[in-house]
Amino acid sequence: MTVTEERQDTSLAARRAMIDSQLRPSGVSEPWVLEAMLSTPREDYVPAEMRSAAYIDRAIPLGNGRMLAAPLVQGRLLGEARPTRDDKALLVGDGSGYLAALLRPLVGSLEAVEPSQANAPGEGGYSLIVIDGAVEVLPEALTDRLREDGRIATGQVLRGVTRLAVGRKAAGTVALLPLAEMGIPVLPEFAAPKRWSF
């Protein structure tokens, strides 16, 4: 067995262990989510010095203040997003990152925008928006990109606690429904404006 083959075997074993010890016991059971996460090597999306920690059950620093969410967070996020081949999807996050690699084969088309650009006007008509991180406030410029009856899956910060949340656009507005408390990396670009207090 070559070094490359041994590395691939080790990586596949780590992905199977992630599914069996982290995802399934925590309720991630959609076959298409498990298949996507089994076939996508997480270690390819972390800094070289973090490759050995790619499958731990917590967020991994990527540099520049960015984090790769824990496998459970991304598994649950995908499951709640319910992507289909009919979706025109927008990812708020790294278009060449791990979540993009998981999502791209599951949708009809996928575009990505960095969190710092999500508050700017842009192309609309998306049936699905997935935000790779937790937000305090959803900018109107982002929800304007979602078509009527379109879906959104994200992390949400409520009173300092991060939760997985989903929403649907109805009558031109999006309301988020918090689902479960989870340790989701917070995106500072979506912080609520600071209020004066006395």
So what's the pLDDT on residue 123? 85
pLDDT digits (tens, 9 = 90+) for 80-134: 999 999 999 999 999 999 999 999 999 999 999 999 998 888 888 999 999 999 9
Q: Is the pLDDT of residue 19 over 80?
A: yes
What is the arithmetic mean of pLDDT over 18-45? 94
So what's the pLDDT on residue 193? 77
Look at the domain 3-190 and name its fold. Answer: Rossmann fold (3.40.50)
Domain residue limits, the chain = 3-190
So what's the pLDDT on residue 5? 62
So what's the pLDDT on residue 11? 85
pLDDT digits (tens, 9 = 90+) for 140-168: 999 999 999 999 999 999 988 999 999 99
Q: How far apart are the first and last CA of the chain?
A: 68
pLDDT digits (tens, 9 = 90+) for 46-74: 999 999 999 999 999 998 889 999 999 99
So what's the pLDDT on residue 191? 87
So what's the pLDDT on residue 119? 86
